[in-house]
Amino acid sequence: MILITDGGSTKCDWIAIDDTGKRLAEKIRTKGLNPAILTEKKLKKIISGSEELMRYKSEVTHIFFYGAGCGTEKPRTMLTHVLQFLFLNAHIEVQEDTMAAARACINHKDEAGVVCIMGTGSNCSYYNGKSLEQRVISLGYTLMDDASGNYYGKQLIRDYYFKKMPQTIRLAFEHKYNLEADFIKYNLYKQGNPNAYLASFAEFMFLNKDSEYIKTLIKKGFRLFTENMIMQFKEELKNCPVHFAGSIAYFSKEEIMEVAEEYGFRVGNFVRRPIDGLVNYHVNNL
């Protein structure tokens, strides 16, 4: 049995297949498994807490894990050790989520492209047809992650408290969320996964996309992402498209296309959930 995993900070999707690509179980979902944020103990608890995963643990021969927070050696190694501890018979490969996006978005194995992730967090890499090139190391949601779910959640809360929201949007925001200061601070500073908590507010944008305020907010965040991340590959953009993975990108297609035109780069594919493309990739490369 082969497990293919798309791990974000908010949620983690696992698909079990055999060596012919046949799915052996329904998609299994756990909480997010970002090893740059969670402790080894917490990672073990989340994975071992899934009865569905533990039911198959002795049958798993390979795990291909692609995840947020796996772009640097220390967290990647920690997660590898956790998976080896729980799945004793499995060969483990842990890679960053940008590789998952590249394999899911790019049409042909040896094709080059700039690949962006815009989900709970955000990132951008150049895939030369064989390997990824990362020119900026992500420092996570506190300092980076422009145009991500947690970025937009933060902006919405700030605009609410600074009274920059139009009144109709403000009332709708109040109705949907608990915006008491103590509640927000408790979730940000005393609970785990504050990035995922912030990202939970981003859904509000896509429920209110007819608002000019929301459209402007989305484009402002994507312009920042473009200037800081995409344009570092200015030379590569002359010959290849920019692909996007993640729910924030998927539901912001219109705004992304408008900003792409402003900056003069070509947009490629949008993939909401990379895991479906990953299954196809691994079936073809077993």
Tell which wins on pLDDT, 158 or 36. Answer: 158
Q: How confident is the model at residue 286 (pLDDT cuts 50, 70, 90)?
A: low
Taking only the tens place, the pLDDT of each residue in 120-174 is: 899 999 999 888 888 888 888 899 999 999 999 999 999 999 999 999 999 999 9
Mean pLDDT of the 71-78 span = 92
User: How does DSSP classify residue 56?
Assistant: T
What DSSP string describes 77-121? HHHHHHHHHH-TT-EEEEEEHHHHHHHHH-SSTT--EEEEEESSS
Q: How far apart, in whole angstroms, are the C-alpha atoms of residue 169 and residue 47?
A: 39
Q: Which residues contact 13 (CB under 8 A, 6 or more apart)?
A: 5, 6, 7, 27, 28, 29, 273, 275
Exposure string for 112-124, b = 16+ CB within 10 A, e = fewer: bbbbbbbbbbbbb
Task: For strands 11-17 and 2-7, give the pairing.
Answer: antiparallel
- Structurally, what CATH architecture does the domain formed by 2-100+275-284 represent? 2-Layer Sandwich (3.30)
- Does 75 have pLDDT greater than 80? yes
Burial of 126 per CB tally in 10 Å (0-12, 13-18, 19+): buried
> pLDDT above 70 covers what percent of the chain?
99
The domain locations on the chain are: 2-100+275-284
Residue 131's pLDDT is 87
Tell which wins on pLDDT, 202 or 10. Answer: 202
- Does 284 have pLDDT greater than 80? no
Segment of 36-45, 59-68, 184-193, 218-227 carrying the highest mean pLDDT: 218-227
Check: CB of residue 230 under 8 Å from CB of residue 116.
yes
Taking only the tens place, the pLDDT of each residue in 89-134 is: 999 999 988 888 888 888 777 789 999 999 989 999 999 988 888 8
The mean pLDDT of the chain is 92
Residue 49's pLDDT is 95
Taking only the tens place, the pLDDT of each residue in 241-265 is: 999 999 999 999 999 999 999 999 9
Task: For strands 113-118 and 28-31, give the pairing.
Answer: unpaired
Q: How far apart, in whole angstroms, are the C-alpha atoms of residue 51 and residue 57?
A: 10
Residue 137's pLDDT is 83
